[in-house]
Amino acid sequence: MNLKIKNALISVSDKEKLSSILKVLKKHKINIISSGGTYNAIRKLGYKCIELSKYTGFKEMLDGRVKTLHPKIHAGILHDRKNKIHKNEMSRQKFPALDLIIVNFYPFQKVVIETKKPKKIIENIDIGGPTLVRAAAKNFNNVTIITNKNDYPDLIEELNKNNGKTSLSFREYMSSKAFGLTAYYDAMIANWFNKKLNIEFPERKTIFGKQFQKLRYGENPHQKSSIYINDYDDKKLKFFQLHGKELSYNNYNDIFASLEILQSIKDKAGTVIVKHANPCGVSENKKPLESFKNAYASDPVSSFGGVIACNYRINKKIAIEINKNFLEVLLAKGFDKKALRILKKKKNLRIIDISKFKMNNNTSVKNFDGSFILQNKDRIILDKKKLKFVTKLKPNKKELEEIEFAFNICKYTKSNAIALCNNFSTIGIGAGQPSRLDSCKIAIQKAKQFQPRKIVNSIAASDAFFPFADGLKILIHAGVKTIVQPGGSIRDKEIIKEANKAKIKMVFTGLRHFNH
C-alpha cells in the first residue's frame, strides 16, 4: 500500500547530499522537523524547517544526549494508522504522525580510528539515532526509514514516481537495511568494549561486516559470493590493487593464506607462493631475487596460476623473473616504476600493493549452518627453551634456525602436513592428507621431481607426531638428516630408536600445529 508522506524528521551527522533530498521534500510539500547541526544546515541551504524543541515543547538537555527521546516523536513514529485506539490517543494528545525518518549515527567507528581516548569514544555512541531507526523500521507498514545517503536517489525516485508516497515494498526493504545498520553499529560497540576489557570469548559474539564488493562468483561459477570488511575503517581493504582483473573468491582465499605466512617472516626477504590455500613454495633469503627463485623452484608446476606474496619491493630484475611464469596474483611491498611497466604487460595479472598492510585480528572463525567456532590464531612457532633433543646427534645453531623455519611453514600447511626444507627454502610439501604417511610420500615425491639434489641433508617438519615409524623411514631413506616434530606418540621410543639407528637428528617441540 502506498502511503502519503506529510511529516519528515531529519537528524544526520553526515550532511552530504542533503540538498538533493530537501529539494524533493519541498516539491511534495512535506514538512521537515530537525534539531542541532542538521536544523542549521537545512536553514542554511534555504529550506524551511521546524526546530525539534519547538515541535516537542521540550528543550534538548544533557549536552544534547536527550533530544529525540520524547513521546511526541516516538508516538508519531510508532502508532498504527489503522488502529482506532492508537488514532484516538494520538488525537487526544494532538500528536501528528511522522511518516519519514532520515537518520544516520554519530561517527563512532571514525572516532575509534582517530583516537584511543575512551571518554571521547563513549560520547560518540549514538542513543537517540538508533532508537529512532528501530522504531521506524519496526513500523515499516506506516513509516519510511532512510539510514544511508546512498539511498537518497532511491527515495527521490520513489516519491516522484508515486506523487509524494512510498510503496510498502520500498518501506520494508529500507526497514531491513535499517535493522542491518543498528545491528552493525551495536556489534562494533560491543567488540570495542570486548577488546578494551580483553574479553576474547564473550558470552555473546556478534561479527560485524560491511559489503565491500560483490564477487563474480564463489569457489565455483554456480555459487554467489561477496567480500565484507570486518573493521572500523570499512571503506577499503588494507591492500590496494594496482592492475588486473577483479579479484575472485578463490583469489581472496589464497591472498589471505599467503599473507598469514608472509607476516611470520620478519628479518629476511620472504617469498610465499600459495595454491588452493596451501603453500607450494616458501623461501627467505638476504637477496629478494634469490628468495623468489628458490620459492618458485620448490614446486613450479603447482605454482602455475598461483598467488605470490613478497615482503619486499619489486624491482626490474625481479619483475622480469616473475613475468617468465604464469600467476594469478602478485602481492608486494611496493613496485619500482620500471618493474610495474613490465608486470602490466600481462593484462590479467592482479598486482597488489601491501606496503600498508598490517595484520591486527587475532581470531579466526569457521561457520557451519546454525553455529560457528571461534579460536585465537596459532601465533607460536616453537619455544626454544622447551625443545627436546631426543637423538644422540644434536643440531647446531644454524640447523636450529632452519628447524624453526621448517616448523613455521608446516604450521600454515593443511594437516596432515610435512614440509621439507633446505637452506631456508621449501623443497617439497605434503599437505592435507588423512594419512601422515601419504604426506611424507608426497613431500618426498615433490622434492625428487624438482630438487632431488637438495633432499640430502634436508630438514623435515611434521605438524603432529608420527604415530608409526613408517613415515619416518621414508624420510630417512630419501636423505633427510634432521626431523622436527611435536612428539607425544605412544611409539616415541620406537621412533627415536629408528632415528638413532639412521644417525639423524630429531627434535621434539612439544607443540602441535594442526591446521584444518
CA distance from start to end of the chain: 51
> For residues 496 and 475, is the Cβ–Cβ distance under 8 A?
no
Helix orientation angle between 128-138 and 168-196, rounded to the nearest 10 degrees = 140
Distances (CA, A) of 24 to 21, 39, 136, 229: 5, 17, 21, 33
- Cα gap 199→379, rounded to integer Å: 18
Q: Is 186 exposed, middle or buried (0-12, 13-18, 19+ CB in 10 A)?
A: middle
b or e along 212-250 (b: 16 or more beta carbons within 10 Å of the residue's beta carbon)?
Answer: eeebeeeeeeeeebeeebebbebeebebeeebbeebbbb
What is the crossing angle of helices 288-298 and 436-450, to 10°? 120
Note whether 189 and 197 are within 8 A (CB). no
- Has 276 been annotated as catalytic? yes
| Residue 211 exposed, middle or buried by CB count within 10 Å (0-12, 13-18, 19+) | exposed
DSSP string, 471-502: HHHHHHHHT--EEEE----TTHHHHHHHHHHT
- Phi and psi based region of residue 119 (left: phi greater than 0; alpha: psi -120 to 50; beta: remaining): alpha
Please state the φ and ψ torsions of residue 159, each to the nearest 5 degrees.
-65, -40
Active-site hit among 276, 293, 317, 346: 276
Q: Cell digits for 120?
A: 571521547
Which among 74, 138, 165, 210 is annotated as catalytic?
Answer: 138
Interhelix angle 84-93/71-78, rounded to 10 degrees, is 150
Burial code (b: 16+ CB inside 10 Å, e: under 16) for 140-174 equals: bebbbbbbebebbeebbebbeebebbbeeebbeeb
Contact status, residue 355 vs residue 238, Cβ threshold 8 Å: no
Contact 346, 328 (CB under 8 A): no
- What does the alpha-carbon distance between residue 230 and residue 235 come to, in Å, rounded to a whole number? 10
Omega before 416 within 30 of 0, i.e. cis:
yes
Told to judge if 477 belongs to the known catalytic residues of this protein, a careful annotator would answer no
Query: Which residues form the catalytic set?
Result: 138, 276
